[in-house]
Amino acid sequence: AGLGEFRIRDLNDEINKLLREKGHWEFRIKELGGPDYARIGPKMLDHEGKEVPGNRGYKYFGAAKDLPGVRELFEKEPLPPPRKTRAELMKAIDAEYYGYRDEDDGILEPLEQEHEKKVIAEAVEKWRMEREARLARGEEEEEEEVNIYAVNDDESDEESGKEKEGEEGQQKFIAHVPVPSQQEIEEALVRRKKMELLQKYASETLMAQSEEAKTLLGL
């Protein structure tokens, strides 16, 4: 450590250079059919060296590991805190977590009541101002409540539909389209059957006479 920073760096570079040359010779010996010294040779120098994490190949020996800028590279980052399991997270969840006990302290409810009174007073004041403005313009005020679900009795079946009642205890409903009665359906089926028979068996002259008779009768 007393050699100085620059001398230590030079010696460390020289050691790494010799290690690389040693690795090249070991590879060449194996290539020529000799023993694999990289696998069976001594590792003493390699074990004394320490590689910077993420920088494989270059090693620092002895006092070189304590050089400024190198020491920080070997400092390990603190491990992240262990993640809690789902069971551990569920231990802290109770009724208070979901807000069911927010009013137990007696603080929130009075604040909500005070805010509610304030909002109602503002709404009433706004309605009063709008009412006075309408009266100032001479508009007539309508106080009659309108039931949007009411159905007028004098509406015709074609306009409002017919009300269907099921068995006793069932909910009533209103058909908003014209619904023919059973008698009207039967009459329509009879007329359709007559027309099919006339088209099948009657002659063209008879058909023309039938149409002329309907026209005269206003049918």
DSSP 65: G
Distance of CA 99 to the CA centre of its chain: 23
Q: What is the pLDDT of residues 114-141, one digit of tens each?
A: 999 999 999 999 999 998 888 888 765 5
Alpha-carbon distance values, 137 to 40, 126, 132, 140, 141 (Å): 107, 17, 9, 9, 11
Average pLDDT over residues 83-105: 83
The DSSP annotation for 94-160 comes to STTTTTTTTTTTSSHHHHHHHHHHHHHHHHHHHHHHHHHHHHHTTPPP------TT---TTS-HHHH
pLDDT tens for each residue of 7-36: 998 998 998 899 889 889 989 999 999 988
Tens-place pLDDT, residues 25-67: 989 999 999 988 878 866 655 556 676 665 667 888 888 888 8
Q: Is the pLDDT of residue 192 over 70?
A: yes
Average pLDDT, the chain: 76
Residue 181: pLDDT band by 50, 70, 90 thresholds?
Answer: confident
pLDDT of residue 61: 84
The C-alpha atoms of residue 216 and residue 204 are separated, in whole angstroms, by 18
Half-sphere exposure of 29 (CA within 13 A, CB side): 14
pLDDT of the residue at 52: 63
Enter the pTM of the model. Answer: 0.33
Could you tell me if 16 and 58 are in contact, meaning their C-beta atoms sit under 8 angstroms apart?
yes
pLDDT grade for 163, boundaries at 50, 70 and 90: very low
Please state the domain extents for the chain: 5-74
